Amino acid sequence: MQAAQRPQVESGKQRASDFTEPVSTGYSNRMAQKTVPNALILELEPVVGENLDRHLATEQLWYAHDFVPFEQGENFALLGGRDWDPSQVTLPKTITDACEILLITKDNVAGYHRELVEHFILEDNWAQWLGRWTAEEHLHAIALREYFVVTREVDPTANEQVRFEHVSTKGYRADQYSQVETLVFMAFFERAHAVYCNNLAAEIEEPVLAGLITHIARDEERHEEFFANLVTHCLTFTRDETIAAIAARAAELDVIGADIDAYQDKVRSIAEAGIFGPDQLRRVISDRITAWGVADEPALRHLVIS
């Protein structure tokens, strides 16, 4: 399949406030305003374009419906069928726990999209990348939910209740992050999800679900590469601020699912199973810092493990 092409755009010429300061003017005020590109946005515009070209040229398209065993589907009680009950579950609990954590995190893509748009700009190369990233992340949620509703491997009502509570009342907030911190966080975040999904896929014996999680892991690796490359450029453009941003975001990074109040038992379960926990998180941070070539920085040395 031919790789997707994108229209070419020119960078803007405007400059605005200091990009090292947190964006914290309040959502209600900023949502109605058109973002003015500042020095960092303009500096990174061609870098975003180059990475978007690479991302599209190397894509391997996949579709949610290809990973849903629809022959297993049946109506729920409202339409004359039967509702979910625990006897329908065949997968190990650690697997369904990990998948539900992943699904709720993916359901919250709107929160991450909002923060990226608020910190950067929805124009030119930035707009194309943020839209593309959001669409790819949303695909993960679509595929996971379709698989689990059809196979009945999780309670769909309970899962929906958690989704609604998490997205509507908890969500994701990063309005106190600087622009550089936001990019650093996303690089760490995507690497953590790549490791999470690869470890999870290795534990799944059901081939369709294993294939789905493997495809998600590959997307996460590609997303990490994109955001990490932007941070690499920041290290050449504003090194001191970027080192400080790496240290700040690494210090506060938590395991996947830690922000989902209803799933703390599941978070403990997958940590005990070795899928993802504090040990894997420390490795994610250490390996990403090493890959950036900044492991010897005094502010980061304590975060690097052998």
pLDDT given for residue 173 in this prediction: 78
Q: Any known ligand binding at 221?
A: no
294 inside domain: no
First to last CA, the chain: 41
Name all contacts of 60-65 with Cβ < 8 Å and 24+ positions apart: 60/218, 61/1, 62/139, 62/215, 64/139, 64/142, 64/143, 64/146, 65/146
How many separate domains does the chain show?
A: 1
245 inside domain: no
| Residue with the two structure tokens 């109040």 | 261
Q: Any known ligand binding at 220?
A: yes
**34 vs 13: CA distance, rounded Å:** 15
Q: How confident is the model at residue 33 (pLDDT cuts 50, 70, 90)?
A: low
37 inside domain: no
Q: Any known ligand binding at 241?
A: no
Closest by CA position to 151, among listed 207, 214, 219: 207
234 inside domain: no
Q: How confident is the model at residue 18 (pLDDT cuts 50, 70, 90)?
A: very low
Q: 145 is in which domain, residue-wise? A: 85-228+254-278
Residue 19 has pLDDT above 50, yes or no: no
Q: Any known ligand binding at 138?
A: no
146 to 33, 70, 103, 226, 297: CA distances (angstroms): 37, 9, 11, 28, 45
Once rounded to an integer, what is the mean pLDDT over residues 235-261? 97
Q: Any known ligand binding at 190?
A: yes
175 inside domain: yes
199 inside domain: yes
b/e for 32-49, b at 16 or more Cβ within 10 A?
Answer: eeebebbbbbbbbbebbb
Q: How confident is the model at residue 8 (pLDDT cuts 50, 70, 90)?
A: low
Once rounded to an integer, what is the mean pLDDT over residues 178-184? 97
Question: The domain spanning residue 176 has which CATH number?
Answer: 1.10.620.20
Once rounded to an integer, what is the mean pLDDT over residues 242-251? 98
36-75 confidence digits (pLDDT tens): 889 999 999 999 999 999 999 999 999 999 999 999 999 9
53 inside domain: no
pLDDT given for residue 175 in this prediction: 78
Residue 294 has pLDDT above 90, yes or no: yes
83-142 confidence digits (pLDDT tens): 999 999 999 999 999 999 999 999 999 999 999 999 998 899 999 999 999 999 999 999
Residue 252 has pLDDT above 70, yes or no: yes
Q: Say which amino acid occupies 161.
A: Q
Once rounded to an integer, what is the mean pLDDT over residues 139-150? 98
**193 vs 219: CA distance, rounded Å:** 10
174 inside domain: yes
Q: Say which amino acid occupies 175.
A: D
